Amino acid sequence: MSGADAQTNTEASNDARLRYLLRLGDTSLVLGQRLGEWVGHSPALEEDLGLANLALDLVGQARLLLTYAAEIEGKGRDEDALAFFRDAPQFTNLTLAEQPNGDFAQTMVRQFLIDAWQLEIYEGLASSTDTRLAAIATKALKETRYHFRFSSSWLVRLGDGTEESHRRAQNAIDGVWRFTDELFAADEVDEQMAAAGVAPRLTDLQPRWSARIDEVLREATLRRPANVSYQWHGKRGVHTEHLGHMLTEMQHLQRTYPGAQW
């Protein structure tokens, strides 16, 4: 291999690594922002604190991931610039993460599905050949474990609760199930990262995610919806209309007063 080829190869893999980190970071950031919207509106004070704590962890994880992404990008942007000065098509979060909060059941179902996904992803990344990503994942994994415990216990309480809570929980899962196909749909970025030992193979993770989900759904007396083959492409920057509205609020201050600090 000539020097020029090697150079191109490194650039290609750096590009894939950057895109991979942005997807992970954006998913955490968008989900964290959504949870933040609940502050002051939750059904009980304890849940208000709980959702705010989860949001804080997710934004913290996003910060670690986006800081790393910004360094790899090497264009002088930092994590704040990535969070506040990109438009919706440049965000590459999972489509599921940007779905509106809806009622408490909808929020918990969205959380539960992504927590279970992050558990698998971070467990896999903990042994990544990228030591910095491995360190971030090991840290995040500890937090994701109690996020999952929180969301799955709510799923059981809602699903196996009253007739009304069961109905709402089932509606919620029926409503967002169509976005779960994207969680494990590997594209060239995922393939490259898996081949380089940076990230786990998505196809290996899906059965474990599925089993974890099924176990909780059974206990919650909820029905798992049939798979829908339509593929969403949030991680390629193609979003539902909800993300733009969310970003308008999230980015308002920094767009109006660029660089403002507390």
Partner 1 sequence: MSVAIQRETKIVDERETKLADERETGFAGERERAVWNVLEGVMDPEIPVLSIVDLGIVRYAHWASDRRLHVGLTPTYSGCPATDVIRRTVREALDEAGYDAAALEEVLSPPWTSEWLTEEGRRRLEAFGIAPPDKAVSNPRHLFHAPVVRCPRCRSDNTERVSEFGSTPCKAHYRCTSCLEPFDYFKCI
Please check whether residue 42 is in contact with residue 48, taking contact to mean a CB–CB distance below 8 angstroms. Answer: yes
**What residues from 77 to 116 belong to the interface with partner 1 (CB under 8 A)?**
78-80
Residue 132, interface with partner 1 (CB under 8 A)?
Answer: yes
Measured from the CB of residue 153, what is the shortest distance to partner 1 in angstroms?
Answer: 9
| Residue 257 engages partner 1 in binding (rule: CB under 8 A) | no
Tokens 């403002």 sit on residue: 260
Which residue in this structure is represented by tokens 């007396």?
A: 221
The encoded tokens of residue 66 equal 């986006």
Q: Does 42 bind partner 1 (CB under 8 A)?
A: no
Q: Which residues contact 2 (CB under 8 A, 6 or more apart)?
A: none
DSSP summary character for residue 224: P
* b/e sequence 239-256, b meaning 16+ C-beta within 10 Å: beeebeebbeebbeeeee
Q: Is 138 in the site for partner 1 (CB under 8 A)?
A: yes
Question: DSSP string spanning 233-250?
Answer: -GGGT---THHHHHHHHH
Which of 157, 165, 163 lies closest to 220 in space, CA to CA? 157
For the chain, the helix, strand and coil percentages under 3-state DSSP, each to the nearest 5: 75, 0, 25
Residue 223 has which token pair?
């029905």
Binding to partner 1 in span 53-82, by CB under 8 A: 53, 55-61, 63-64, 67-68, 78-80
Window 148 to 207, contacts with partner 1 (CB under 8 A): 149-150
Selected from 16, 116, 140, 217, the binder of partner 1 by CB under 8 A is 140
Which of residues 78 and 214 has its CB atom nearest to partner 1 in the complex? 78
Task: Tell me the two tokens of residue 105.
Answer: 């059941």
Q: Is 124 in the site for partner 1 (CB under 8 A)?
A: no
The reply on whether position 136 binds partner 1 by CB under 8 A is: yes
143 binds partner 1 (CB under 8 A): yes
Under the binding rule (CB under 8 A), the answer on residue 131 touching partner 1 is yes
237 lines the binding site for partner 1 (CB under 8 A): no
Q: Among 41, 142, 245, 255, indicate the residue that binds partner 1 (CB under 8 A).
A: 142
Residues in touch with partner 1 (CB under 8 A)? 32, 46, 49-50, 52-53, 55-61, 63-64, 67-68, 78-80, 131-132, 134-136, 138-140, 142-143, 145-146, 149-150, 261
